[in-house]
Amino acid sequence: MSGRNLNLFQDDNRGRFGDNEYAPDVRDDAEESEEAETLTGEFVYCDERPAALAVRDRKKPSGPWVWLPKSKIEWAHASGGNVEIKIPMWLAKQKGLV
């Protein structure tokens, strides 16, 4: 069985009984380019949990907090209670940061 991918938890395009197992990946070029895009910015630090970080847009001081999963972002404390965050563009759009 060498060289075969036997992952049973593949996407739905795999086929009903895995009969489409060796089909090429059908990802859209726009999806791939969007995954590669990132947003880097400074946000107001609000709160932190073991798996998430809460921030707020600096331009909207009374705006809502946005919880970001730490596994998807890179972040570091900045001056004045702010944090510098590098976040994938798809996540920034989903959370309303763009």
Q: Is residue 30 part of a domain?
A: no
pTM over 0.75: no
Q: What is the pLDDT of residues 31-58, one digit of tens each?
A: 455 557 999 999 999 999 999 999 998 8
Q: Which domain range does residue 72 map to?
A: 36-98
Q: Is residue 60 part of a domain?
A: yes
Q: What is the percentage of the chain residues whose pLDDT exceeds 70?
A: 64
Q: Is residue 52 part of a domain?
A: yes
Q: Is 46 exposed, middle or buried (0-12, 13-18, 19+ CB in 10 A)?
A: middle
In whole angstroms, give the CA distance from residue 21 to residue 79.
Answer: 51
Q: Is residue 73 part of a domain?
A: yes
**Which neighbouring-strand residues pair with 55?**
45, 66
Q: Is residue 48 part of a domain?
A: yes
Q: What is the pLDDT of residue 73?
A: 94
CB 96 within 8 A of CB 66: yes
Task: Count the domains in the chain.
Answer: 1
Q: What is the pLDDT of residues 80-94, one digit of tens each?
A: 889 999 999 999 999
